[in-house]
């Protein structure tokens, strides 16, 4: 478990940033759809740190946005077309423009544009209530008090965790602030190396999130883990740890499908992770609860089915009320609850009810510590105006990683 020392916390070190050039690693990797940011909380959560930094000489904000290929060389604007080190996996950068990323390989300018932070800059300025200049590359001259560097993952060296790149990056400031809990599980240059080169202080929100998660870690035996989303494989270390120590684990969404399939149930065409089935088969524990009634889609019609009634052509899209009732009874008995990941296909209004009812129930529980994390879940809470009811972690992967491993790359030697 990370214990944050006073000398590393921004709020005790105003004198160390006063009149200095400060680099701040933030996470503006938001869901940007049709010109709107769906999870504004990620940006708003750094406001206290931004206000605190007003005494600095100059501030450069550093963030990633989606997971683009490394296209910009650190010394110039030249675009590196020698194909990519990292895959072009799914991106949050912009879901509206339909650019096929593989086509963008032939046209790197389009790819830079697709993943550029410039397009969300006006929205960031509005949310943070400050003017922010834009720096196209590492050689751009900052013109404003607050400046935002182009998507850090577009630079060759960030994801490769390259020391020379980190050194060049560090030359833009005298001290740094880490205020990006949600990316602290990535061993990237701006996360892992920068704090080793410059004196670095943790921002207000980072401190808050670590304290919240430490509270869960200290009280595991009275905690319930409520995990949804698509993939179970990335969550297995956490599930295994909580199986030994926590009160109960409630699984939903694609995770529950894979679990049920491994246990030999018919789940039709539902989303599963085929390659992890053998490993799941070995897990047996009365501590794991999964839904047993569902809403399925079959030939474009929605049906309610119990486990055992599911047909080969059915696809599970949401959980049913009977399962929810059982979950509610268990959740009433818990002291601490950690929730991450939707329990149904919330992108479709017909299948958001299960997740909504579950979160609504959690929001009404009295005298409980309920911590919710993960980009998709936070966007859903924002949409449903439930965000203020919970303790929040901006991290999806990072929250689960920290709960499982009790460490982060920012702190690793």
For the CB of residue 151, give the shortest distance to ligand 3PG in the complex, in Å.
Answer: 11
d(CA 104, CA 345): 29
> Closest CB to ligand 3PG among 355 and 394?
394
- Give me the least distance between CB of 253 and ligand 3PG, in Å please: 17
Nearest-approach distance from CB 371 to ligand 3PG, in angstroms: 16
Using the minimum distance from each CB to ligand 3PG, give the nearer residue, 229 or 375.
375
- Which of 240, 274, 278, 243 is closest to 257 using CA atoms? 274
Let me know if 26 is exposed, middle or buried by CB neighbors in 10 A (0-12, 13-18, 19+). buried
Q: 104-109: long-range contacts (C-beta < 8 A, 24 or more apart)?
A: 105/69, 108/71, 108/79, 108/80, 108/81, 109/79
Task: Write each residue from 312 to 351 as x if it is in contact with ligand 3PG (CB under 6 A), else as -, in one continuous string.
Answer: ----------------------------------------
156 vs 186, beta carbon nearer ligand 3PG? 186
Binding mask 90-129 for ligand 3PG (x = CB under 6 A): ----------------------------------------
CA distance 300 to 297: 6
Q: Is 182 in the site for ligand 3PG (CB under 6 A)?
A: yes
| CA 10 – CA 264 distance, rounded (Å) | 52
Selected binder of ligand 3PG within 397, 400, 403, 409 (CB under 6 A):
397
Q: How far apart are CA 201 and CA 17, in angstroms?
A: 9
**396 binding ligand 3PG? (CB under 6 A):** yes
Site membership for ligand 3PG, residue 186 (CB under 6 A): yes
Which residues have a Cβ under 8 Å from the Cβ of 145 and sit 6 or more positions away? Answer: 54, 56, 58, 59, 130, 131
Q: Which of 17, 27, 210, 340 binds ligand 3PG (CB under 6 A)?
A: 27
With CB atoms as reference, the residue minimizing the distance to ligand 3PG is 29
- Locus of tokens 């160390």: 16
Rg of the chain (C-alpha set): 22
Q: Which two tokens stand for residue 164?
A: 């020379």
Return the closest-CA partner of residue 392 out of 49, 46, 126.
46
Judged by CB under 6 A, the stretch of 181-189, 190-198, 289-297, 379-387 that binds ligand 3PG is 181-189
Nearer to ligand 3PG, 354 or 397 (CB): 397
Q: CB-wise, 29 or 258, nearer to ligand 3PG?
A: 29
Least distance to ligand 3PG from the beta carbon of 117, Å? 13
Where do contacts with ligand 3PG occur on this chain (CB under 6 A)?
27, 29, 67, 182-183, 186, 375, 396-397
């Amino acid at each position: 478990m990370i214990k944050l020392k006073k000398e590393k916390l921004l709020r005790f070190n105003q004198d160390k940033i006063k009149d200095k050039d400060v680099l701040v690693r933030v996470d503006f990797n938001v869901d940007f759809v049709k010109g709107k940011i769906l999870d504004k909380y990620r940006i708003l959560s750094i406001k206290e740190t931004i206000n605190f930094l007003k005494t600095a000489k100059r501030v450069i904000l550093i963030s990633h946005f989606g997971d683009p290929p490394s296209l910009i060389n650190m010394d110039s604007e030249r675009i590196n077309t020698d194909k990519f080190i990292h895959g072009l996996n799914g991106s949050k950068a912009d879901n509206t423009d339909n650019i096929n990323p593989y086509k963008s390989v032939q046209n790197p300018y389009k790819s830079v544009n697709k993943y550029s932070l410039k397009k969300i800059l006006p929205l960031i300025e509005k949310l943070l209530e400050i003017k922010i200049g834009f720096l196209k590359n590492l050689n751009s001259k900052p013109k404003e008090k607050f400046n935002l560097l182009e998507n850090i993952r577009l630079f060759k060296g960030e994801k490769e965790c390259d020391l020379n790149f980190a050194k060049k990056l560090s030359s833009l400031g005298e001290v740094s602030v880490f205020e990006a809990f949600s990316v602290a599980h990535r061993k990237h240059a701006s996360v892992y190396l920068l704090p080793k080169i410059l004196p670095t202080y943790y921002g207000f929100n980072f401190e808050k999130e670590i304290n919240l998660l430490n509270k869960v870690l200290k009280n595991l035996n009275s905690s319930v883990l409520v995990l949804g989303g698509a993939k179970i494989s990335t969550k297995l270390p956490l599930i295994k740890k909580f199986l030994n120590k926590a009160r109960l684990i409630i699984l939903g969404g694609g995770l529950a499908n894979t679990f049920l399939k491994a246990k030999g149930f018919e789940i039709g065409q539902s989303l599963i992770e085929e390659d992890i089935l053998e490993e799941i088969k070995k897990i047996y524990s009365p501590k794991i609860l999964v839904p047993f009634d569902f809403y399925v889609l079959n030939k474009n019609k929605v049906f309610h089915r119990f486990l055992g009634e599911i047909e080969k052509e059915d696809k599970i899209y949401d959980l049913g009320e009977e399962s929810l009732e059982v979950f509610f009874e268990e959740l009433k008995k818990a002291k601490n609850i950690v929730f991450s990941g939707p329990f149904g296909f919330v992108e479709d209004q017909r299948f958001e009810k299960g997740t909504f009812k579950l979160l609504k129930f959690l929001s009404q529980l009295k005298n409980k510590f309920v911590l919710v994390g993960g980009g998709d879940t936070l966007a859903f809470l924002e949409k449903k105006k439930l965000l203020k009811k919970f303790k929040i972690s901006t991290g999806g992967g990072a929250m689960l990683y920290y709960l499982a491993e009790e460490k982060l790359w920012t702190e690793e030697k």
